[in-house]
């Protein structure tokens, strides 16, 4: 079992995150990219090299890249240029992943960029996923969709795209907050789950909110999931103490 944490959860300068994550006991750091994505070091060759040095020096892996800014450029966007920019963003990250040893790109669909019911069977949306998936396949990377959809709706998309480079990034905290049965959904999705976030509801530490973790853990074991568990837990007043507490929860229960 490998446990990682999103880089923003430690509330430290980016350059310090890797060493601190290693010191705490994490195996990896999920690298997050915001709205001004072209300003991120991942968009320059030297920047990628710098991140690789930080990672290797700390002995920390990169389980995934997480372009949060993608929500403004989704596959269903009505503007062709904006939609194309989103696909180009994912294509670039697919090419970067092998340099960092990452296998997963979290593809988020929230807020104004959420997947609407009509998008699930929309040719424009599905063709966009297929276009990005073609590049991901070339680099042996998985585009892991994270959205407000149910497991069944996610599966509808996966069936239409029909690519080994597309899966689901499952977040039991989000699912529970949406009113879904997270354990049942994990069993439904099975091998389609590319990676998992560890998160509880209401900004709580893991195990202290509304998520039925015993059931979720049982379901996770039942499907034979052996991928990364990445903390997307709140920093709280003491980000380091919170990270340690949540890491211990995962190590002791999974």
pLDDT tens per residue, range 153-171: 999 999 999 999 999 999 9
pLDDT for 236: 77
User: Could you give the angle at which helices 182-189 and 151-161 cross, rounded to 10 degrees?
Assistant: 20
User: What does residue 192 show for φ and ψ, rounded to 5 degrees?
Assistant: -75, -15
> Tokens 């892996």 belong to which residue?
61
CATH class of 6-253: alpha beta
pLDDT for 104: 98
Retrieve residue 150's tokens: 């149910």
Q: Is the pLDDT of residue 234 over 90?
A: no
Q: Is the pLDDT of residue 235 over 90?
A: no
Q: Is the pLDDT of residue 44 over 80?
A: yes
pLDDT for 79: 97
Half-sphere exposure of 73 (CA within 13 A, CB side): 20
Q: Is the pLDDT of residue 177 over 80?
A: yes
- In this prediction the pTM is 0.97
Q: Is the pLDDT of residue 32 over 90?
A: yes
Residue 254's SS3 state is: coil
Band (pLDDT 50/70/90 cuts) for residue 237 is confident
For 50, counting Cβ atoms within 10 Å of its Cβ (0-12 exposed, 13-18 middle, 19+ buried), the class is middle
């Amino acid at each position: 079992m490998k446990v990682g944490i999103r880089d923003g959860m430690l509330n430290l300068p980016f350059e310090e995150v890797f060493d601190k994550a290693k010191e705490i006991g994490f195996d990896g750091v999920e690298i997050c990219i915001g709205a001004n994505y072209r300003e991120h070091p991942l968009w320059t060759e030297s920047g990628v090299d710098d991140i690789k040095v930080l990672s290797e020096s700390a002995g920390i892996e990169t389980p995934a890249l997480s372009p949060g800014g993608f929500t403004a450029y989704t596959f269903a966007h009505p503007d062709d240029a904006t939609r194309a920019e989103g696909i180009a963003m994912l294509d670039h990250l697919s090419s970067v992943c092998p340099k960092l040893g990452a296998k997963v790109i979290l593809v988020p669909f929230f807020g104004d960029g959420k997947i609407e019911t009509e998008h699930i069977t929309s040719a424009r949306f599905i063709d966009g996923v297929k276009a990005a998936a073609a590049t991901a396949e070339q680099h042996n990377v998985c585009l892991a969709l994270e959205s407000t959809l149910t497991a069944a709706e996610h599966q509808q998309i996966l069936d239409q795209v029909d690519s080994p480079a597309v899966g689901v990034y499952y977040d039991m905290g989000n699912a529970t907050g949406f009113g879904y049965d997270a354990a049942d959904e994990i069993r439904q999705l099975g091998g389609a789950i590319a990676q998992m976030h560890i998160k509880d509801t209401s900004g709580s530490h893991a195990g202290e909110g509304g998520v039925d973790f015993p059931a979720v853990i049982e379901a996770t074991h039942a499907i034979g999931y052996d991928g990364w568990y990445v903390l997307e837990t709140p920093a709280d007043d003491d980000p380091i103490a919170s990270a340690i507490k949540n890491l211990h929860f995962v190590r002791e229960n999974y």
